[in-house]
Structure 1
Amino acid sequence: MAVVLLAFTEGLQWDEIYDAVEVFSGKGVLSYALLAMGYAAASLDIVNWNPWIQNRISEGRKPLCKGNPLDLVEPSGFALLLSTILRSKPDAVFAFGVVCSTWVAVSRGSTHRHYFLPLGDPNSPSCNKANLLVARTCLALLLIIARGSTFVIEQPNSSLLYRHPRFNALMRLTTVFKQSFWMSGWGGKTPKRTVLWSNSSAVRVFKTKPKHRVKRGKSLTDKYRDSSGKVRYKGNKNLRSSQQYPLRFGVRFGRAMRYFHKEKATPKYPVDVRVAHLYINKAFDF
């Protein structure tokens, strides 16, 4: 339904121009690398809206809308993502660096996420927002698969995002490949064990050697004891900087584009109205 509404919205452009799209791009290192290598790339992230709107206000112009239209939790942000997918070439590659703050092991104490309880604390606003974000991401992935494109999802190795019910349903729909590696092998300042999920076996090209697991640089977590004396961990000020991709990772991604184009899994079932209904019926729920 969301796609149909977009198709009948006047004023939108539908030229298929993008070779790659980076979602949750942050500083856009991956996008810059792809652009430098000659690919037409789009970059979507909630933080990109603030500089744009501040520049518009400084010029004495109106903000045009309330809220942040690059936030996928907002209807406008989700519609922008879908329209970007529709404006991409059929063999485009979509990279999702989904916000992982509530999905990783370091936040288990507050989110109460577990392998058997992946959605976490139902009374936690941050958990509910993250769950909704992943649910909408999975709906976007369904559209990507239907168009014959490739998706790549990046997460820290301890993330439980893959246990989200919508992502589980997606893995039953098509073959999803997993590749773990050490980010230090691609220029990261810390080892940072990372995993890629994709409907293309090309993620294998990111494999790194065991030697890159050696700890170096500043620690990303601090150890402490809770009131019961149990040892726990919490992220420190160095954790946020590790979320930015190193340039070598972006270059490797660009060089792997030709493999992403060739090595796409075929859906196990036709992506038709009956399958899509399972997702669209609760598109704005998790």
Structure 2
Amino acid sequence: VIIFLVLLVWWLEISPDTGLEFLDYFSGKARLSLMAEGAGYRVQAYDKTYGDERAKKNKKRSAMDLNSNAGMVMAISLILRSKLDNVVAALGVVCSTWVPVNRGTSKRCYLCPHGDESVVSVRKANKLMARSTILMYLVVAAGGHYVLENPQGSLIALHERYVQFLRRLQDLGVTTYKVSMWMRKFGSFTWKRTWLWSTSDEIQHLDLGRMTPEERATDVKTVTRQDRNGKACWTANENLKSTQTLV
């Protein structure tokens, strides 16, 4: 299937090498892209929101929605146009249904990481991760490295397709590395403990250690841990959504 997809995109006569070195999928405010560009790399940011305005006018889906046909073709084409053997793809896959705060709705757990697929948001998230895994296959096949990012506690790495991907890499002798880091260390207004997975051991340098008392000091809360009756629970507040665009 992957080979078929690549051939379909290739037939669009897209140049296989235009020098892209850093691909920033689900880029949000494109902070990673801006930093990489500032460091001298040739970058391309990709996010559904970038195409939303035009899509609304044309009454179509965003051309950068990975769950759409156009979005998938564009995402693959970026890899084919990258600098082969020297490309890094960052994938901050939308985490909303994968994290503990959403478990009551998604019904995701270690035994059933795909959750309740009768829920539209869960079904879309599963499809999004499956397609993201295809991109990871292509990046590794192109001689590059991927970096998958999600908040601590996310079950995204248990997605069936990603687990299958990791096993195939292992069979080929390719190691997958995982590190934990604090987003506060990189200027975030919240702590946001984050997990990274990658085929490059360079990600270990992003773990800057424990937070200092000064870094822990914050008035910003993203979740409420008790309901009105004092029962322990997870309830998101208005500050949670904005943390999604921090990377």
**Same fold by TM-score, threshold 0.5 exceeded?**
yes
SS in 2 for 1:21: strand
SS in 2 for 1:27: coil
Q: Is 1:116 the equivalent of 2:111?
A: yes
Which residue of 66, 74, 93 corresponds with 1:72? 66
Which residue in 1 is equivalent to 2:172? none
Which residue in 2 is equivalent to 1:270? none
Quote the Cα distance in structure 2 between the aligned partners of 1:235 and 1:166. 29
> Where do 5+ consecutive residues of structure 1 fail to align?
58-62, 247-286
Decide whether the 8 Å contact of 1:189 with 1:217 is kept in 2. no
> Where do 5+ consecutive residues of structure 2 fail to align?
170-174
The residue type equivalent to 1:98 in the other structure is: V
SS in 2 for 1:88: coil
Quote the Cα distance in structure 2 between the aligned partners of 1:188 and 1:164. 28
Q: How does 1:18-37 map to 2 (within 5 A)?
A: 18-37=20-39
Q: Is 1:242 the equivalent of 2:247?
A: no
Indicate how the Cα distance of structure 1 residues 150 and 186 shifts in structure 2: closer, same or farther if over 3 A, else same.
same
Which residue in 2 is equivalent to 1:47? 49
Quote the Cα distance in structure 1 between the aligned partners of 2:55 and 2:34. 22
Q: Please state how far the C-alpha of 1:52 moved relative to its aligned partner.
A: 5.0
Indicate how the Cα distance of structure 1 residues 108 and 226 shifts in structure 2: closer, same or farther if over 3 A, else same.
farther
How does the TM-score come out when normalised to structure 1?
Answer: 0.77
Q: Percent identity?
A: 34
Q: Which moved more, 1:161-170 or 1:203-212?
A: 203-212
SS in 1 for 2:21: strand
Which residue in 1 is equivalent to 2:94? 99
Q: Please state how far the C-alpha of 1:205 moved relative to its aligned partner.
A: 0.3
Decide whether the 8 Å contact of 1:190 with 1:215 is kept in 2. no
Quote the Cα distance in structure 2 between the aligned partners of 1:45 and 1:9. 22
Which residue of 2, 12, 21 corresponds with 2:5? 2
Decide whether the 8 Å contact of 1:150 with 1:199 is kept in 2. yes
Indicate how the Cα distance of structure 1 residues 82 and 95 shifts in structure 2: closer, same or farther if over 3 A, else same.
same
> Structure 1, residues 67-121: CA drift from partner, whole Å, max 9, x if none?
2211111111111100101001121110011000000011111111001110011
Which residue in 2 is equivalent to 1:251? none
Decide whether the 8 Å contact of 2:190 with 2:220 is kept in 1. yes
Which residue in 2 is equivalent to 1:182? 182
Quote the Cα distance in structure 1 between the aligned partners of 2:186 and 2:140. 28
Quote the Cα distance in structure 1 between the aligned partners of 2:79 and 2:129. 17
What root-mean-square deviation, in Å, do the aligned CA atoms of Structure 1 and Structure 2 show?
2.0
Which residue of 123, 126, 141 corresponds with 1:128? 123
Indicate how the Cα distance of structure 1 residues 66 and 243 shifts in structure 2: closer, same or farther if over 3 A, else same.
closer
SS in 1 for 2:6: helix
How does the TM-score come out when normalised to structure 2?
Answer: 0.89
Number of residue pairs matched by the alignment: 236
Quote the Cα distance in structure 1 between the aligned partners of 2:209 and 2:137. 33
Decide whether the 8 Å contact of 2:55 with 2:63 is kept in 1. no
SS in 1 for 2:87: strand
Which residue in 1 is equivalent to 2:200? 200
